[in-house]
Structure 1
C-alpha cells in the first residue's frame, strides 16, 4: 500500500506557514506586553491611582452593595424581557404597514412613517418622562412602573427596529414576490412564506445590535423611580460616599451584553462566509 509523500514545494509551504504562525504569536505577545506597560505607566503608576481605586474599585463596598444592586438588576431584566416581546410585535407591524402597496394604504404608510420619524428623533429620556409622568397624570390612575418603563422602551425601539425590518423587506428582490404570486400565493402568504424569512436572515446582525442598545438603555428607567440596578447603585453610593456601586451596576450590564455581542460577531462572520462561498441559505 503506497503512502503519499509531500513534494519539496509542499514541505516548503508548510514550513513557511508554521514560521508565519509562530511570528504572529510572538507579535501578539509583544504587543500585549507593550500595551500592559503603557497602561501601567499612564494609569496605575500615577499618583492619583490609589485615590481612584479607593473611590471606584473598593472590593468591600462592591461586595456589600452587590445584593441590593442585583435585586434591582432583576427588575431591569424583567423590563427587558417584556420589551423584547412588545418591540418585536410592534416593529413588525409598523414595518409591514410602511411597505403596503397601493394608494389605498397611503394613510397607513404616512402614519407609520410619522411614528418612526417622531420616536427616532425624540431622545429616549424624554420619552421616559412623557410616558412615566404624563400618562399617569392624564389618566389619573396609578400605573405599575414596570409597565410604564416597558411602554417607553417599546415606543422608542419599535421605531428603530421597524426601519431595520423594512430595509430587510425592501432588500428582497422583487422577482421573489413575483414568483410567489405566480405560484398562486396571496400577498400575506408571500410576505410570510417568502419575503420575511429572507429579510430576517439579512437583518439579524443589525437587530442584535439594537437588542444590545436596548439592554443598555433599560438602565435609564430608574428616572421613573423604579428600584432597578442604577437607582440601587445611586442609593448605595449616597450611603457610602463612594462610586463603587455604580461600577458594580455597570459590570452587570456589560456581562449581560457580552453574550449578545459575541453572538452577533459570530453570526455576522458566518453570514459573510456563506455569501463569499455563494451559498444562498
Structure 2
C-alpha cells in the first residue's frame, strides 16, 4: 500500500491555488484596471483645468515669454547640458565618498565598551555638526575657507563642492546606516560570535548585509536629495547646469534656461525615484506575503 501511494504521488500536479484564491485574483485584476482608468481620466481632467486656468490668468502672456520661450530653450540647452555633465560627475564621486565615510562613522557610533567612548563621541559630534549646518554654509566654508589656509595646491571649485557634499550627506547617511545596524537583532551578533567570528567579521558578514537591505529605500531617497543639491556647487563658481543657466539668462534676459536646467534635473532624478518606489513596494509585498488559500 505504501509503495502504491508513493507511486501515485509521483504524477500528482504541483500545488495550485483554490477556486477562492483564483476568484480573488480576478477581482483584484478587475479593480486594478478600473483604478488605472479612473486615474488616467482624473489626471487628464485636472491637467486640462490647470492649463485653462493658467492661460486665462492676466499675466500668462508675460510669464510665458519670460519662462517658456522655445527659442531660448533651444539655444541654451547645449550649454546647460555641458554643465549637467559636471553635476553628474560630482554626483558619482560624492556618492562613493558618502558611502565610505558614512559606513565608517556609523561603525564608530556602534562600537561597544568605554574604551571606544572618544571615537563614539567624535562620530556623534560629526553627525550633529553637519546635520545641523545648512549645506550652502558648508559649501562656503569648505570652498572659500579651506583654500585660504593654503595647505593644498590650487583645486577646482567642483572638487571643494564634492568635499562639502560628502561631509554633509555622510552625516545623514551614517544615521541611516546606524538605524539599520541597530535594527538587526542582537541574536545575530551573538550567534556569529559563538561561531568564532571576530567583531569585524561579524559586522562585515552578518550585520551589515542585513542592515543595508533594511535601509536601502532610505539610502536611495538620500541619493535623490543629493542629485538636486549637487546644483548648489554653482555658488563656488563651478560652471554646472545651474551656473550655465544663469549665464544664459544674463545673455538672453529670459528665465527660460532655469526652467531647462530644472527639467534636466528632474529627468536625471526620475529613474532613481521610480526605482526607489519599485524597490520599496517589492519589500513591502515580500513582508506582507501570505500563503495561498
TM, length-normalised to structure 1: 0.90
Matches within 5 A, 1:87-106: 87-106=98-117
Unaligned runs of 5+ in 2: 1-19
Q: What displacement does 1:278 show?
A: 6.6
**Number of equivalences:** 272
Structure 1 unaligned segments of length 5 or more: list them.
1-8
Indicate the larger mover: 133-142 or 249-258.
133-142
Shift of 1:20: 4.8
State the shift of 1:13 in Å: 8.0
**1:228 aligned residue (234, 240, 244):** 240
Query: In structure 1, what is the equivalent of residue 160 of structure 2?
Result: 148
Q: Quick one: structure 1 residues 182 and 227, their matched pair in 2 at CA, closer, same or farther if it must change by over 3 Å?
A: same
How big is each residue's C-alpha offset from its partner over 1:15-66, in whole Å with a ceiling of 9 and x where there is no partner?
A: 9778756654553344224313321332123232222111111111111011
CA deviation profile, 1:211-269 (whole Å, cap 9, x unmatched): 00111100000000011111110010011110000011111111110011000000000
Pairing 1:257–2:269 present? yes
- Work out the CA distance in 1 between the residues paired with 2:66 and 2:22: 59
Distance 2:212 2:229 in 1: 24
Partner of 2:126: 115
| Number of the residue aligned with 2:230 | 218
Q: Structure 2 residue aligned with 1:187, among 199, 219, 243? A: 199
Q: Tell me, yes or no, if structure 1 residue 47 matches structure 2 residue 47.
A: no
Equivalent positions of 1:25-104 (< 5 A) are 27-104=38-115
- Cα gap change, 1:66/1:168 in structure 2, threshold over 3 Å: closer, same or farther? same
Relative to structure 1, the CA distance from residue 129 to residue 14 in structure 2 (aligned partners, 3 Å threshold; closer, same or farther) is closer
Q: What is the root-mean-square deviation of aligned Cα atoms in Å?
A: 2.4
Distance in 1 (CA, whole Å) between partners of 2:254 and 2:54 is 20
My pick for the range that moved more, 35-44 or 18-27, is 18-27
Q: Point out the more displaced range, 142-151 or 189-198.
A: 142-151
Partner of 1:4: none
What is the CA-CA distance between 1:11 and the residue it aligns to?
11
Query: Where in structure 1 do 4 or more consecutive aligned residues deviate above 4 Å?
Result: 9-23
CA distance in 2, matches of 1:18, 1:152: 49
Partners of 1:200 and 1:75 in 2: how far apart? 29
Change (3 A) 1:108 1:12: closer
Counterpart-to-counterpart distance in 2, 1:11 and 1:197: 37
| CA distance in structure 1 between the aligned counterparts of 2:26 and 2:178, rounded to whole angstroms | 51
**Which whole-Å CA distance do the structure 2 matches of 1:10 and 1:77 have between them?**
48
